[in-house]
Amino acid sequence: MSRTMSAVRTLSNYIGGSFVPPQSSQFLDDFNPATGERIARVPRSGAADVDAAVAAARNQVSASGRAELLEKIADGIEQRAEELAQLESQDTGKPVALARSVDIPRAILNFRFFAGAVRHDQTACHEMAGALNYTLRRPLGVVGLITPWNLPLYLLTWKTAPALGMGNSVVAKPSELTPLTAQALAEIIHDAGAPRGAFNLVHGLGPEAGQALVGHPGVAAISFTGGTATGAKVAASAAPQFKKLSLELGGKNPTVVFADADFEAAIAGTVRAGFLNQGQVCLCGSRVLVERKIYERFVEALVARVRSMKIGDPGDPKTELGALISPQHRDKVEGYVRLAKQEGGAVLCGGERPSLPPPVANGAFLAPTVIAGLSPSCRTATEEIFGPVVTVHPFDSEEEAVSLANGVRYGLAASVWTTDLARAHRVAGALAAGVVWVNCWLLRDLRTPFGGVKDSGVGREGGQWSLDFFSEVRNVCVALPAP
């Protein structure tokens, strides 16, 4: 297993262009969840650090230099891609192969994409009798970005690129569980020559540094990705200050498989949707709904494929499933497996801790789990588990499939597997979700809107929607003298 870090690193905040310790001088421990080893000390920042970051934040990226800055940051990530993939894998427990193929390439693409979007951005013009209206875009000022631990660099860059691209200054608060690539991003942005204060990084705990950022009167907008319960707290403290808010929260996404689907493609898609990143993606398809005509054959093939997944050392390029984010999170996921049994479910595979050799013998691993026999309305089948656990449920008709799919408090994403074109469009139109994939999953075009309905969040990001969120538009109405 390759390791780019042997000693425990001490991280710092990045404020006003300088790397500085927290004002409290207190640090949190950051662990590699696959090995249990301590890998870094993370600043335990508080309101004073957030105050300093907001005060240092300036709108200094000139309009003409924004796209170029984003391109330079993309270049910087690309130059450090392998190191970043290693850091992400060590911090999260995810397979390094996944970090190499998804997390880091996507971080590069986020900056390149938004460089292009900023260059090609257009605003509107409305002619009327006797006047001409045109729309100006202006930066919001200081924006706060709060990101989770499942896709640390991927999600931080998804917000940072359009925020800087629209001329804002940023104060970012990454998850305290996965601070390493955020620290590297601050270094990369520094080396790219960003104006001092354009990007600031404050590490720390959610209820301390995160809460201080959300409640800070100098912060004009908050873009948050994380759990639904935390999202509700963020909304409650930001709303009275009328901040702009984008909330990308949890999911309990259905994978809907009709009997006419391409069977092998549907199996492969269901496995990928269920277990990518150990099932710790808000978009994961954790409720598998299968038409009864093929239910038994499908479940048998699904279980066979899931059993064959290679779980273990994230540093091994062949590993398909790494560790969960922490032993505490694994306890939570295991609690759901116990609950499923109490609710009458049958664990068809997984549910136990795999036996693995050192150095990962004591990591936070859980074998990929398929559970059948549950009522679709029970807690296991409706609450977000956020781990390598899927439940399977049969349905008899298209109407029932849609009703089961929509029967939860979440509404982020769905995937539908069918070769009937008319049905695909019908079902896609009827699902209560912000994103619907047909015969695919997690196929992303960055120009498209991304976000959820119901308890999965508020607002959309992506392409034009990100530019809109991270800017304020102003209409200018000019009276034209009569000819």
Catalytic residue annotation: 248, 282
Q: Does 369 bind ligand TXE (CB under 6 A)?
A: no
The CA-CA-CA angle for residues 269, 274, 279, to 5°, reads: 140
| The binder of ligand TXE chosen from 211, 277, 380, 391 (CB under 6 A) | 211
Q: Does 250 bind ligand TXE (CB under 6 A)?
A: yes
- Site map (CB under 6 A) of ligand TXE, residues 280-299, x = contact: --x-----------------
Q: Does 160 bind ligand TXE (CB under 6 A)?
A: no
Strands 142-146 and 221-225: parallel
Q: Does 146 bind ligand TXE (CB under 6 A)?
A: yes
The window from 85-93, 161-169, 199-207, 430-438 that contacts ligand TXE (CB under 6 A) reads 199-207
DSSP secondary structure of 247-268: EE----EEEEE-TTS-HHHHHH
| The binder of ligand TXE chosen from 206, 254, 434, 459 (CB under 6 A) | 206
| Integer angstrom CA distances of residue 472 from 67, 137, 242 | 19, 6, 13
Strands 453-454 and 9-10: unpaired
- Residue of minimal Cβ distance to ligand TXE: 206
Give residues with Cβ within 8 angstroms of 347, minimum separation 6.
337, 340, 341, 369, 370, 371
The window from 3-11, 48-56, 210-218, 369-377 that contacts ligand TXE (CB under 6 A) reads 210-218
- Which residue carries 């955020």 as its tokens? 182
Closer residue to ligand TXE, CB minimum distance, 205 or 259: 205
Strand-pairing partners, residue 226, are: none
| The binder of ligand TXE chosen from 35, 92, 225, 471 (CB under 6 A) | 225
Residues 424-483 binding ligand TXE (CB under 6 A) are none
For 6, the 3-state DSSP assignment is coil
Q: Does 230 bind ligand TXE (CB under 6 A)?
A: yes
| Integer angstrom CA distances of residue 211 from 21, 180, 388 | 19, 21, 30
Closer residue to ligand TXE, CB minimum distance, 167 or 434: 434
Handedness of CA 234, 189, 159, 282 (dihedral sign): negative
The window from 35-43, 115-123, 145-153, 239-247 that contacts ligand TXE (CB under 6 A) reads 145-153
Q: Does 227 bind ligand TXE (CB under 6 A)?
A: yes
Helix (H) or strand (E) holding 298: helix 292-307
| The binder of ligand TXE chosen from 93, 139, 210, 459 (CB under 6 A) | 210
Q: Does 278 bind ligand TXE (CB under 6 A)?
A: no
Report the amino acid identity of residue 343. E
The pair of three-digit structure tokens given for residue 41, joined into one six-digit string: 């000390």
The pair of three-digit structure tokens given for residue 278, joined into one six-digit string: 């150990």
The window from 101-109, 146-154, 422-430, 465-473 that contacts ligand TXE (CB under 6 A) reads 146-154
Residue 373 CA to residue 452 CA, distance in Å, equals: 28
DSSP secondary structure of 310-331: -BS-TTSTT-SB---S-HHHHH
Residue 253 CA to residue 413 CA, distance in Å, equals: 5
- As measured in angstroms, the least distance from the Cβ of 142 to ligand TXE is 16
Closer residue to ligand TXE, CB minimum distance, 214 or 261: 214
Strands 369-372 and 389-395: parallel
Q: Does 77 bind ligand TXE (CB under 6 A)?
A: no
- Site map (CB under 6 A) of ligand TXE, residues 91-130, x = contact: ----------------------------------------
- As measured in angstroms, the least distance from the Cβ of 249 to ligand TXE is 5
Closest CA to 2 of 323, 320, 315, 322: 315
Residue 410 CA to residue 413 CA, distance in Å, equals: 9
Closer residue to ligand TXE, CB minimum distance, 27 or 149: 149
Handedness of CA 303, 304, 306, 312 (dihedral sign): positive
- As measured in angstroms, the least distance from the Cβ of 282 to ligand TXE is 3
Q: Does 313 bind ligand TXE (CB under 6 A)?
A: no
The pair of three-digit structure tokens given for residue 421, joined into one six-digit string: 């074109």
The window from 16-24, 224-232, 261-269, 357-365 that contacts ligand TXE (CB under 6 A) reads 224-232
Residues near ligand TXE (CB under 6 A) are 146-150, 173, 175-176, 205-207, 210-211, 214, 225-227, 230, 233-234, 248-250, 282, 384, 386
